[in-house]
């Protein structure tokens, strides 16, 4: 009976030798580390208006939603947030999920019907990959941001329902998908376009409404937008913004919506306050862009290879997984938290440090953190 545990130990040993061990580290509220690893891009998670709205809803509704949305978990804060998100994203309707991961799985699965072909970008997030797998549909993974490859894939399946699946701002290198071109190719072949705005919402586009809005795709009947509410909005949960018919379909058939407890009303209320701040947050986005550009200049001046971000994600190439792990650990020891991306989390077998710009970090601390990263480089 202990053989299966021994097998797990052996697999852990192999991961350790490959530099792929992962460790949980508790963070206290008084943690003073400079955070270039989290996703609170606009610094809204602690904004007084956000915490005040959450606190008021917490006092009114209590800690949890107490049930799924279709039972007792659908509260006034949930519906108000959905209305605001639909307006911000230019969609007919929006539907809340308890995480962006579940929103993506639900959206992909909800778009699949008999003979559907899913065309997925090679750099897509794990939630989109899992959505494709769980759906059971045939999935073709195309090279990253390769419009011609997507066109050829769709052309080779004439008459089949199809969905092109992509992120807006990619989580690996922070680059922007060619959304207008992807939509044109999808429409040419009567396919749908699913855009995950996890790293675009609040960061890019007019009013921070994301890459799809920037590409002129907001409200298109053949475009479905998903997003997490845990990054630029500093909260938790996920959303699908789409034509009303598709939202109705998810409410009536979406397993990750129907059978999941609703997000806490306090979180919904806090996120709604964050939406208002992000929608009007042009100064925050300007500072975010300035810091991202500054980071690229500083890293490149030190001879490091990094991405040129369209949002708040800056990646820096590491020699390998062990070097990336040691680099991140050295930064942490000197008071700077950075992300560490290693295979299989990276789609191209290249290890990286991933820096996420947070305008809530004082500018002097942000610049000092970049010096620490440079000094700790392998």
Annotated catalytic residue, options 47, 144, 231, 310: 231
d(CA 307, CA 143) in angstroms, rounded, equals 18
Whether 196 sits among the annotated catalytic residues: the reply is: yes
Residue 239's beta-bridge partner residues?
A: 96, 227
Given the residues 98, 135, 171, 351, the one annotated as active site: 171
Look up 189 and say whether it is catalytic: no
Is 220 one of the catalytic residues?
Answer: no
Torsion of CA 194, 36, 338, 168, to 10 degrees: 10
Query: 213-225 in b/e burial notation, b at 16+ Cβ within 10 A?
Result: bbbebbbbeebbb
Q: Which two tokens stand for residue 196?
A: 């995950």
DSSP secondary structure, 121-134, as one string: ETT--HHHHHHHHH
Q: Is 167 a catalytic residue?
A: yes
Assigned token pair, 162: 């199809």
* Catalytic position from the list 40, 121, 167, 173: 167
Q: Choosing from 125, 183, 189, 220, which is the catalytic residue?
A: 125
User: Strand 238-242 and strand 138-142: pairing?
Assistant: unpaired
Q: 191 near 224, Cβ under 8 Å?
A: no
Q: Is the dihedral of CA 194, 195, 196, 202 positive or negative?
A: negative
Catalytic residue check, 39: yes
From 39, 127, 135, 307, the catalytic residue:
39
199 is catalytic: yes
- Let me know if 121 is a catalytic residue: no
- Residue tagged active-site, from 40, 82, 175, 196: 196
Which residues are known to be catalytic? 39, 125, 167, 171, 196, 199, 231
């Amino acid at each position: 009976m202990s053989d299966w545990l021994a097998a797990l130990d052996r697999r852990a040993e192999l991961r350790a030798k490959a530099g792929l061990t992962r460790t949980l580290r508790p963070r206290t509220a008084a943690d003073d580390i400079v955070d270039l690893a989290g996703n609170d891009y606009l610094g809204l998670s602690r904004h007084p208006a956000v915490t005040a709205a959450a606190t008021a809803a917490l006092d009114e509704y209590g800690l949890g939603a107490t049930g799924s949305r279709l039972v007792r978990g659908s509260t006034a804060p949930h519906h108000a947030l959905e209305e605001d998100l639909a307006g911000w994203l230019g969609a007919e309707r929006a539907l809340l999920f308890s995480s962006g991961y579940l929103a993506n799985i639900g959206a992909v699965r909800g778009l699949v019907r008999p003979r559907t072909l899913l065309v997925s970008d090679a750099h897509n997030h794990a939630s989109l990959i899992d959505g494709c797998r769980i759906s059971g549909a045939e999935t073709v993974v195309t090279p990253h941001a390769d419009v011609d490859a997507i066109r050829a894939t769709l052309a080779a399946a004439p008459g089949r329902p199809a969905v092109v699946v992509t992120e807006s701002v990619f989580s690996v290198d922070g680059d922007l998908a060619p959304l207008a071109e992807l939509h044109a190719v999808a429409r040419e072949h009567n396919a749908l376009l699913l855009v995950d705005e996890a790293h675009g919402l609040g960061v890019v586009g007019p009013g921070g409404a994301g890459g799809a809005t920037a590409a002129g795709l907001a409200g298109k009947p053949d475009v479905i937008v998903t997003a997490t509410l845990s990054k630029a909005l500093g909260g938790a949960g996920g959303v699908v913004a789409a034509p009303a018919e598709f939202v109705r379909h998810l409410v009536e058939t979406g397993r990750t919506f129907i059978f999941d407890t609703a997000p806490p009303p306090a979180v919904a209320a806090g996120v709604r306050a964050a939406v208002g701040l992000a929608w009007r947050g042009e100064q925050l986005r300007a500072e975010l862009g300035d810091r991202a550009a500054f980071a690229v200049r500083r890293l490149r001046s030190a001879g490091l290879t990094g991405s040129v971000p369209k949002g708040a994600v800056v990646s820096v190439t590491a020699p390998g997984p062990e070097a990336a792990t040691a680099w991140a650990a050295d930064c942490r020891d000197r008071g700077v938290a950075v992300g560490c991306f290693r295979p299989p989390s990276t789609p191209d077998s290249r290890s990286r440090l991933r820096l996420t710009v947070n305008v809530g970090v004082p500018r002097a601390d942000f610049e000092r953190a970049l010096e620490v990263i440079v000094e700790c480089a392998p």
